[in-house]
Amino acid sequence: MNSTSLRSDPANRQIALLGVLSLVMMMTRFHHEGSVFSLPDASLAIFFLAGIFLEGPLSYWVLLILAASVDYIAITALSVNSYCISPAYLFLAPTYAALWFGGRFIKKSPHRSLMHNAALLALTVVFSSSLAFLISNVSFYWYSGKVSGIGIVDYALELMGEFGPYVGATLFYVLAGLGINALLRSLASIRLSRFGSL
């Protein structure tokens, strides 16, 4: 498949974009927290970007199945800690849906000034990732069976330190993804204009 067929066939472009997002998820999901040797998990941003760039809800379900598959392989084959696996794990579906719908909202929003679009994007990422943080942590508190002997207020206070990095990493990855997309589009249009002038 050459680059011309990617540009001219929207289905090929969608498959390529889904492939790239899937690859980034697989590269970052095995170690959720990140370290000197691994990047933090980009899954939240990937669902947000999928909401912007990919058509229809099928991409959401494909990415959700991929996320669960990566977790399964990480736990069973790579001995990654399984502490987060519990009945609350099912709530990752609405957690990631919060990000996917945030991306859909941005996709359908009318384009205005650069400042307006940037502010709307930042607010939507912060809102969507905050909602995802709430869904995942409240469900873990109520349904995991792993949080006992601590009140909801104390639990919330313990989580306060994780909120900033959770939202910040999501915003960083979304901005990086949009920046890479803008750069690739610019390079493609420069290339097209050079071929058009020959």
pLDDT tens-digit series, residues 156-196: 888 888 999 999 999 999 999 999 988 988 887 777 666 65
pLDDT tens sequence across 82-94:
667 888 889 999 9
Write the DSSP assignment of 116-176 as a string of letters: HHHHHHHHHHHHHHHHHHHHHHHHHHHHSS---S--HHHHHHHHHHHHHHHHHHHHHHHHH
Cα distances (angstroms) measured from residue 179 to each of 82, 89, 127, 150: 34, 32, 21, 42
pLDDT tens sequence across 23-82:
999 998 876 555 545 678 899 999 999 999 998 899 999 999 999 999 988 888 877 776
Domain ranges of the chain: 3-196
Place of tokens 């979304």: 174
Upper half-sphere CA count for residue 10 (Cβ side, 13 Å): 4
Phi, psi of 189 (to 5 degrees): -70, -30
Count other C-beta atoms under 10 Å from residue 128's C-beta: 26
